[in-house]
Amino acid sequence: MSAKKARPAKGLPNDDIGLEVRLDLYRTQVKIRDAEKRANDLFFQNLIKGTSHLSLGQEAIAAGVALAMEPNDKSFCTYRGHAHTLARGVSVEKMLGELMLRDNGLMRGKGGSMHLTSAEHGVMGSYAIIGAHLPIACGSAWRAQYLGEKDVSVCFFGDGTTNIGAFHEALNFAVIWKLPVVFICENNLYMEYTPIADVTAVEHPAADRASAYGLERILIDGNDADVVYRTAKAALEKARNGDGPSLIECLTYRHSGHSRADPAKYRPAGELEKWLEKDPIKIYRKRLLEFGVKEDEIAAIEAESKRVVDEATEACKASPSAPLELLTTDVYADGGWAWRN
């Protein structure tokens, strides 16, 4: 992805990112937004069962980091992982198909919304037990270090994760072994329903703890995809050069509740409105116009995204459920579930 040649925008100096990547950043954010809004609609039509945790409002982080990554880099996501999965290039159909628990889904319905995985895209799983995937990302990074492979493991998690033990174990571990891993904390201000500030000893749950592990304090605007992209690039390069892990806290805001069951009534009046002004997609659309991208080029990206999501939706609706045999496949490596002879 980084190999793409930058198309310089005329008259705008210091464009280290380049227009091609900028268009990709916008395209990715719009794709995530449209796909997740569709997921929300499908819930209300009872076509998605179980649960779902949306990243509406947080798209700049998934997009900015993913576009800074190399194809071989590995992503480790949480149950709020639709955005990060799509950002690595997974198709909307495969993602929505999994949410709808259909045979065309990423895991043919066996994992569901909280466990999106696409190993071929480097999406090494979405983990629904808070904190677990930080040590797991360390292990992937250890493998790269041990084998001399050049990929970096990137681990996304929320602010709430900073209060569980695995977060602290993983950070210490990553630093002492100098592992090529990048930890991305998405601070959307709420652990689930409770404000993170009410339950955390420091103001910035990740950044303010970095010093405890000898790490640089990195606190950025998570709603500006350019800022995220630049910060992630630097951290990935540091990791790839053998200079160890980074911990990046991205400030952002969840436009919707924790999960589909949560109308987010605990938010103070006016808070959502204030953050909607800082909507990452709104910010980035304006940025593209500033960089001279024509309105119709932007509109074409948006129309294409809607078309893709519409087509994916229809394909998912048309897809059957997985065959019943799938119930007992892949419990063990022989493909089956036999625990006795």
Partner 1 sequence: MAELTYRDAVARAIAQEMRRDERVVFLGEDVAKAGGVFKATVGLYEEFGEKRVRDTPISEQAILGAAMGAAMTGLRPIAEIMFADFAAVCFDFIANEFPKLRYMTNGQLGCPLVVRTGNGGGARFGAQHSQSIENWTMMIPGLKVVAPSSPVDVIGLMAAAIRDDDPVIFHEHKSLYAIKGEVPDGEIVDKLGTAKILRPGKDATIVALALMVPRALQAAEILAAEHGIDCEVIDVRSLVPLDTNTILNSVAKTGRLFTVEENPRLCGWGAEIASIVADEAFWDLDGPIVRITTPHIPLPAADHLEDLALPNAARIVERVSRVMNGSRS
Rule CB under 8 A: which residues touch partner 1? 74, 76, 106-108, 110-111, 115, 117-119, 124-125, 127, 129, 131-144, 146-147, 153, 165-166, 169-170, 172-173, 176-177, 326, 329-333, 335, 337-341
C-alpha to C-alpha distance for 79 and 130, rounded to whole angstroms: 9
Positive or negative, the CA dihedral 106, 109, 110, 113 is: positive
Is the distance from CB of 57 to CB of 275 less than 8 angstroms? yes
Residues 6+ apart with CB under 8 A from 8: 15, 18, 19
Closest CA to 73 of 143, 18, 22: 143
Residues 6+ apart with CB under 8 A from 72: 122, 149, 150, 151
- Residue 22 near residue 305, CB atoms below 8 Å: no
Closer to partner 1 at the Cβ: 193 or 337?
A: 337
Q: Nearer to partner 1 by C-beta: 132 or 301?
A: 132
Through-space distance between the first and last CA atoms of the chain, rounded to whole angstroms: 49
Q: Which is nearer to partner 1, 36 or 73 (CB)?
A: 73
How long a stretch of residues is the chain? 341
**One-letter amino acid for residue 79 of the chain:** Y
Q: Please report how close the Cβ of residue 20 comes to partner 1 at its closest, in angstroms.
A: 30
Question: Looking at beta carbons only, is 147 or 318 nearer to partner 1?
Answer: 147
Measured distance CA(170)–CA(281) in Å, rounded: 32
Closest distance between partner 1 and the C-beta of residue 204, in Å?
23
Shortest reach from residue 90's CB to partner 1, in Å: 12
Which of residues 106 and 225 has its CB atom nearest to partner 1 in the complex?
106
CB of 137 to partner 1, least distance (A): 6
Output the smallest distance, CB 236 to partner 1, in A: 17
Q: 69 or 293: whose CB is closer to partner 1?
A: 69
Contact 34, 54 (CB under 8 A): no
- Closest C-alpha to 144, from 1, 240, 236, 3: 240
What radius of gyration do the chain's Cα atoms show?
20
Rounded-to-integer distance, Cα 132 and Cα 170, Å: 9
CB of 73 to partner 1, least distance (A): 12
CB of 170 to partner 1, least distance (A): 6
- If the CB atoms of residues 71 and 335 are measured against partner 1, the closer one turns out to be 335
| Cβ 141 to partner 1 shortest distance, Å | 7
* Nearer of residues 261 and 333 to partner 1, judged by Cβ: 333
Strand order in the sheet with 153-158: 123-127, 74-78, 153-158, 181-187, 246-251, 218-221
Q: Which is nearer to partner 1, 30 or 170 (CB)?
A: 170
Minimum distance from CB of 309 to partner 1 (Å)?
Answer: 23
Phi, psi torsion values for 271, nearest 5 degrees: -65, -50
What residues have CB less than 8 Å from 273, skipping those under 6 apart?
A: none
